[in-house]
Chain A
Amino acid sequence: MQTLRRTPLYERHAALGARLVPFAGWEMPVQYTSIVAEHRAVRTSAGVFDVSHMGQLQLAGEGARDYLQSRLSNDLDRIGAGEAQYTLLTNDRGGIVDDLIAYRRGDDDYLLIVNASNVEHDHAALDEMDDVSADWALLAVQGPQALDRLGIDVAPFTFREDDVLGVRCLVAGTGYTGERGCELGCSPDDAAGLWDAILEQGIVPCGLGARDTLRLEVCYPLHGNDISPERTPIEAGLGWACALEKEFTGVDVLRREKEVGPEEKLVAFVMEEKAIPRQGMRIAEGGEVTSGSLSPMLDRGIGLGYVRGELADAGTDLTIDVRGRPRTAKVVKKPIYKREEA
């Protein structure tokens, strides 16, 4: 049995009474008090997540831009220094090896933040990059009051080096909740001090349970559930992150698939009856649930799943097989949850 790895904040989580579970080889907090309460804190005020298990790859020097431009799906030239972009690492069948954020530090200087479970796969496919994951702790501070409480501002998909509550950080306007906020990268040695300072601002510690329900409400795909090396960005509705006019791994497959239309599409749905869809449940009309949960904001079962193209339009009725009980659901436009504009 493999020993679980611990982030620099493990002692903090244990002291707060977090429920710790294995996740991608790490011992991570799934909740501190209640997933629903932590979820609502992020939607209404501010929450902080330890995401130090995530991986960091970097590459600097002449040719760095050309190297990544030929391997990542999105067009790196759409961003300049100090900007970040959502992009995909694909295989030669067009399948998704990982989804990640690329941070452009200079013309030929890049940092990638990738899923914990995929660091090794990513590094194998991007073997000229350095795996610097051990040099980083990462905290995500998310919610409508997150930036105010930290006393900073950062525009979405921009980043800079800055002091936050007295700690030197990479401050990035990114996240995985659909709320305003930031991700703070710092030295592992500074992580506990930064965590304590963040909690002193009244920001609520949140576990991976709430992180999962938050991302599902706004239909951000989870690699390993909703996207995988067997699914393409075209099927997953991530064509917007693929610059099909440039050359990158698997682009021929994706161009063809875009032209003829994908056989299956990833759709969002909301249960019409009281029931909670779960990953792996069959969809009677053909297809499978890839993520499912209760939406704490809607108080209804919600999910993502693949269905045949003709069933993918909003308003289509689906039948989810909930452990032998047929339960009706309706395809909805993404995202499932959207804040009501004041």
Chain B
Amino acid sequence: MSKLMEGSQAVAKVVNLCEPAVVSAYPITPQTHIVEDLAKYKADGKAKYEYIRAESEFAAASVVLGASATGVRTYTATSSQGLLLMTEVLFNIAGMRLPVVLTCANRAVSAPISIWNDQQDAMTVRDSGWIMFFAEDNQEAVDLHPIAYKVSEATRLPVMVNMDGFILTHTYEPIDLPSEAQLKKFLPKYQPEKGQFLDVHDPKSLGCFATPDDYMEIRRDLFDDMKSSEKIIKQEFSNYKKIFKRGSNGLTEYYGHKKADMVFVAMGSVVGTVKEAVDELNDQGLKCGVLKLKVFRPFPVQEVVSKLSGVKKVAVLEKAVSIGAEGVLAGEVKACLNSPKQKIQSFIVGLGGRDVTRKNIKSLYKKIQQKNNKTVFSG
């Protein structure tokens, strides 16, 4: 049954249902409500986890690293500068193959200082070795958390669930929360691999030194496992769908005209607005569609190729930019498609909380018909 609640509140509820053993966080807007609620559950005796207040995001990430190394389920959440302060630890968590789950309430990065939404924070740490999910709405944000734990424990790769700051975290929507019984069916208790975690009865060292003889194989292993996690992610999406009757099986979702000649590519909450714009464009007799990426790491190369090859114009719409190059997502989409008959253009929208309107999105249909192929800041 659906109940009206705030995005952050719903995420805190579902995280508590997943029964992590350790939660550690440092407050930062717009992620604050999630960890505030988790702290409140603990204070009210409604949670089983240890809640460890940290003195910085670097410490919070280090706490969950250490806790996860002891073979238990862990959770943290952050945004923007907080995620960047965690960067070194994010690489360590992934490199040590610890199944940590983190929620990033996406927010712009300083300077200039801005508390509002874009996705520059997450895109900046894309090479850290974390699986990255992007939620379109709060129901999806809720559903992605149990999936994150399941995938992360099966692949031994950490998972970052991204949800747009304010647009999702502070918005009230009807949410269907999984019941405890249903969730137990989907997400069993975490069993760490024997001899691969810190245990006083069977002492081990983790995070050891690797000489040039081993380092490259260990990094390659991480790369290969990230690539092959696609299969496990799809399988868990479909398992979740079977039990909860919602969600989709693929790493991407397509919406719009079946034989579109112009397709938008986008991630996160903006997809909702793009769908509306696509409907309006198609009502005018045009053939448009939108490809939503639910998973950005591992990058869904096959799905992008199969959905976009043959499409004449591809407008990659994103809330992040690689300064000196183009949109981050645009660069990756271009890397999997190489037809000279196709135009793929990078459109930067909604940085630092700028509203992305249907009018703005529809204007891109005209902009992409023009000859130049420069990165366009629109809106």
- The finding on whether chains A and B are genuine partners in a shared complex, rather than unrelated, reads no
